[in-house]
Structure 1
Amino acid sequence: MKNFFLLLLALLPVAWLGAQPESDVWFYGFKAGVNRHQIQDVSTTIIPEVFPTETYTTEMVPALGFTGGVTLYHRFYDSRFAVQPEILFSSRSSDFNYTDIRDLEYSIRFGYQYVSLGGVIKLYPAAGINFGVGAQAAFNVATDQLKYTSNMPELGPDLQIQQSLREVLIGSNDINLLFQAGYDFNFGLMLEARYILGLSDVLETRANGFNFIENSNRSSGFQITLGWLIEFP
C-alpha cells in the first residue's frame, strides 16, 4: 500500500498532461486485482468465556483473494467529479488459527465469495489523480465455504468437524463503505487502491453444541485493481 501511494506521487509531474478520460462522455470497462480481508472477533464467537485466556492463543490471518468485474464511468462536464458504478466478484478469505496448552492446533479458513453492487464518487484534485468514496452491497454466494484442519484428527475426523462447522457458521451478506485513491491514465488505464469497511455481521452463528455464541463479526480489507475504460460507441 505504501508503494502504491509513492507511485502516485511519482506520477504527479505528468498529471497535467491530461491523464483522465474525457469529460461528459460515458465509458464502460473491466477491472481485476487482489484483495486482503479478515473477519473480526471470531475468537469471541468460537471460544467460550469459561476457558482461561492464558491456556490458548489465537490469531486471525488475512489471505489474498481475487476481485474483478465490470464498471461504468462518467466524468461530469467542466467538473472535478465523476461517478463509477460497478459489479464485482470478490473472494475474501481469512484463517482463524488456534493453539492451546494441550498442544491442540487447528485452523478454520473462511473462504467466502461475494458479488457486490455499488460504486464510488471520484474527485480529481489534479488531472488523473483521484480520491473516491462510495458504498456497495456484497451478496455472499458461497455461504458454506469453510475448511477445518487440525493436528489431532483422533479427537474427531477433520471432515466430520468441518461439515458440522459449515452447518453452524454461515456466511452472510455485507454492506461496505469504500475509500479509494487512484490514478487514471489518458489511454484508459485505471489504477486504484481501496479500503473496504464492513458495516454488517458477516458470520451467522446458528444453534449448536459447540457453545459458539452469536456475535457481531464485521469484515474489513484492502483491494488493489487495474481497470480499462472503453468509450461507448
Structure 2
Amino acid sequence: MKKLILCAAVAIFGLTSIHAQDNSMNNTNDGIDFGIKAGVNFAKLTGDDVEDADGRTGIHFGIVAEIPVSDVFSIQPEVLYSQQGLQQDFEGGESKLKLDYINVPVFAKFYVAEGLAFEFGPQFGFNVSAKSEFQIEGASGEETASIESDLEDSVEAFDFGAGAGVSYKFDGGMFLQARYVLGLTSVYQGSSEGLFQDDLNNSNLSVSLGYKF
C-alpha cells in the first residue's frame, strides 16, 4: 500500500517537473503554481444499509499543483490525506465507520471569470485506515464504553471516484474551494455475515482553504 501511494504521488508531481523542464529548455514561463490546502469533509457512504446514517465530519489536508494549459484552462493534481466514513445512532449509543484515505484527485479547471473556475475530474483513493467504533452510553447519556475494531480486511484498498467543484483564487495566492466527489467503486463489499449486507460507496463534500506560492 505504501508503495502504491508513493508511486501515485511521484507520477502526479513528476508531470509538473517534466513540464517545468520543457518550459525551461524553451525559455518560457507558464506560471506553474504549487501550494497547500486544508479543510473540512462532510462525508458519508451510500447504500441501502446506511440510508438513515449521518455523515462523518472530518478533515483533509495536502499539497496541490496547478499546471496552466491555456489562459482559461489548467490541470490541478493534488495529494491529500482525507478522513471519511459515516456515523449512526442506535438505541443506547452510536457507531462510526472511520475510513481514512490518501486521495489523488486530478481535476481540469475551466476559468469563467477572473479567479473563478469550475473543476471536473477523477479521483484515485488509497485506503490507509479502516476502523469501526461503537460508543455505548449509560442511562444518563454519558459514554460508558468504546469498542474499536479493525476493518482493513473488509474495506477495499483502492477507491475510484469522480467529482466536480468550484474554486476562487484571490490576488496574493489564497484560494477557496468547494468540491463534491462520488465514489464509483464499492469500498465495502457487503455480505450476510459482515457489518453491512449491501455494498457501500464513498460520498464526500469538502470545503477547502489554500495558498499557492
Scaled to the shorter chain, the TM-score interval is 0.7 to 0.9
Cα 1:123–1:229 shift into 2, 3 Å: same
Distance 1:126 1:27 in 2: 19
Match of 1:121 in 2: 108
2:175 is the counterpart of 1:183: no
TM-score (norm 2): 0.74
Q: Size of the alignment, in residue pairs? A: 179
Shift of 1:169: 7.6
One-letter amino acid matched to 2:90: Y
Shift of 1:151: 5.1
Cα 1:111–1:183 shift into 2, 3 Å: same
Match of 2:155 in 1: 171
Q: Which structure has greater strand proportion?
A: 2
Distance 1:167 1:223 in 2: 24
Contiguous gaps of at least 5 residues in structure 2 = 1-28, 139-144
Distance 1:120 1:168 in 2: 28
Contiguous gaps of at least 5 residues in structure 1 = 1-22, 45-57, 100-104, 153-157
State, as a whole percentage, how many aligned pairs show the same letter: 23
Cα 1:213–1:30 shift into 2, 3 Å: closer
Shift of 1:213: 5.8
Q: Check the 8 A contact 1:42/1:96 in 2, yes or no.
A: no
Distance 1:213 1:97 in 2: 15
Shift of 1:119: 1.6
Find the structure with the greater CA-based Rg: 1
Shift of 1:150: 3.6
Match of 2:55 in 1: 62
Shift of 1:174: 1.4
Q: Check the 8 A contact 1:107/1:148 in 2, yes or no.
A: yes
Q: Check the 8 A contact 1:142/1:171 in 2, yes or no.
A: no
One-letter amino acid matched to 1:223: S
Shift of 1:74: 1.8
Distance 1:170 1:129 in 2: 41
Q: Check the 8 A contact 2:136/2:146 in 1, yes or no.
A: no
Q: Check the 8 A contact 2:129/2:152 in 1, yes or no.
A: no
TM-score (norm 1): 0.68
The structure with higher relative contact order (CA 8 Å, sep 6+) is: 1
Match of 1:13 in 2: none
2:22 is the counterpart of 1:37: no
Match of 2:118 in 1: 131
CA-atom RMSD in angstroms: 2.7
Match of 2:74 in 1: 82
Distance 1:203 1:84 in 2: 29
Q: Check the 8 A contact 1:59/1:97 in 2, yes or no.
A: no
1:97 paired residue among 89, 99, 102: 89
One-letter amino acid matched to 1:35: N
Bigger mean CA offset, 168-177 vs 90-99: 168-177
Q: Check the 8 A contact 2:132/2:151 in 1, yes or no.
A: no
